[in-house]
Amino acid sequence: MKNLSVNINKIATIRNARGGQVPSVVQAAINSEKFGADGITVHPRPDERHITREDVYSLKKVIKKEFNIEGNPTKQFIDLVLDIKPTQVTLVPDAPDVLTSNKGWDIKSNYNFLKEIVSEFKRLKIRTSIFVDPKEKMVELAKKLEADRVELYTETYAKKFPINRENAIKDFYKCSLLAKNINIGLNAGHDLNLDNLKYFSSKIDNLLEVSIGHALISDSVYFGLQNTISMYKRLL
């Protein structure tokens, strides 16, 4: 069984559109775990357009399973992670003005920067994952950084899947074989959904975790959160 981490950013987006505390991100996290999620993911951004720093501290008090914080390792982000000490931190190279994550790290160009950050997080026993495009070289370099895992950025898979699923999975499968050979953990995320998740999961047998937010929260509007989490879990 691969783990499902539910990204609750979109709950915060809905709340922030109106102000106040409805819907509650804390209650969404509690319910998601109760309904079968293996963990909770948040991606706080500097402008706090969805998850806020206050949310992260509130969630720390209630999450009983895995807590994954992802984001661009600015000083503000690093300080937050060091204070919260989540189960996992996922380093993502998103610029402040992007709507959503749109690329993986060029580890070669950022090697020394990332090495220092990974070392600091690992010193505190925070599992560290690097968000990368499905390129074998990036997986190799993440291992050299001594990261615990890589998270494969799956947007290209999702786009190609309706056209040719075998072609869509090809680069991800190669990366999965390499990850297995060099003993680095494998996560995946971005645009995975009820249509494409089962095939991805069946082909990547060393997949440890998927982080899904937008599609899952959107599906829950139609199917309810409990039923939706069960549907995703069955696909894994």
Give catalytic residue positions. 43, 70, 190
Question: Using CA atoms, how far apart are residues 44 and 46, in angstroms rounded to an integer?
Answer: 7
Per-residue pLDDT tens digits of the chain, which is 236 residues long: 799 999 999 999 999 999 999 999 999 999 999 999 999 999 999 999 999 999 999 999 999 999 999 999 999 999 999 999 999 999 999 866 665 666 789 999 999 999 999 999 999 999 999 999 999 999 999 999 999 999 999 999 999 999 999 999 999 999 999 999 999 999 999 999 999 999 999 999 999 999 999 999 999 999 999 999 999 999 99
183: alpha, beta or left? (left if phi > 0; alpha if psi -120 to 50): left
Q: Cβ–Cβ contacts within 10 Å for residue 162, how many?
A: 10
pLDDT at 94: 81
pLDDT at 1: 79
The DSSP line for 19-30 is -TT-S-HHHHHH
List helix spans (H) across the chain.
Answer: 9-18, 25-34, 53-62, 75-84, 111-123, 136-144, 155-160, 165-182, 197-203, 214-223, 225-235
Find out whether 148 and 127 touch, Cβ atoms under 8 Å: yes
pLDDT at 90: 98
pLDDT at 103: 78
pLDDT at 10: 97
Residues in the chain: 236
pTM of the model: 0.95
List helix spans (H) across 19-101.
Answer: 25-34, 53-62, 75-84
Domains and CATH numbers, the chain: 3-235 (3.20.20.70)
Query: 3-class DSSP state for residue 83?
Result: helix
